[in-house]
Amino acid sequence: MSINDTTGVISWLPDNGDVGDTLVTIIASDDSSAIDTQSFVLHIENVNDPPVIILDITDFIVAEDAADTSFALGEIFHDDDLYSVDDSLIFTLTNSQPGLVNASIARDTLFLDYLENQNGTVNLSITATDIPQTSATESFLNTITAVNDIPSSFNLITEDAIVFYDSVITFNWEASLDPDVLTNADQLFYTFRYSAVEDFSTYFDIEDIGDTSLTLELPFVQDQTYYWKVRVEDFYRVKIWSDEVRSFSLNYEDNPPSIPALITPLTQAVL
Find the mean pLDDT for residues 67-93.
92
Distance CA 111, CA 105 (A): 6
Contact at 8 Å (CB) between 112 and 97?
Answer: no
- DSSP H stretches of helix in 150-226: 180-183
Find the mean pLDDT for residues 103-130.
96
What does the pLDDT read at residue 21? Answer: 84
The whole-model pTM stands at 0.68
Contact at 8 Å (CB) between 144 and 63?
Answer: yes
Find the mean pLDDT for residues 177-188.
88
Between the alpha carbon of residue 22 and those of residues 19, 44, 58, the distances in Å are 9, 8, 44
**pLDDT bracket for residue 264 (50, 70, 90):** low
Higher pLDDT residue, 251 or 106?
A: 106
Distance CA 240, CA 154 (A): 9
Find the mean pLDDT for residues 23-47.
85
The percent of residues in the chain predicted with pLDDT above 70, rounded, is 91
Between the alpha carbon of residue 41 and those of residues 35, 85, 267, the distances in Å are 20, 19, 156
Q: What are phi and psi of 82, to 5 degrees?
A: -65, -25
Three-state SS for 81? helix
Indicate the pairing of strand 188-195 with strand 169-172: unpaired
Chain segment 194-210, per-residue pLDDT in tens: 999 999 999 999 999 99
Find the mean pLDDT for residues 57-80.
96
DSSP symbol at 156: B
Is a pLDDT exceeding 60 seen at residue 134?
Answer: yes
Chain segment 143-173, per-residue pLDDT in tens: 999 999 999 999 999 999 888 766 678 999 9
Least Cα distance to 190 among 232, 162, 229 occurs for: 232
What does the pLDDT read at residue 231? Answer: 97
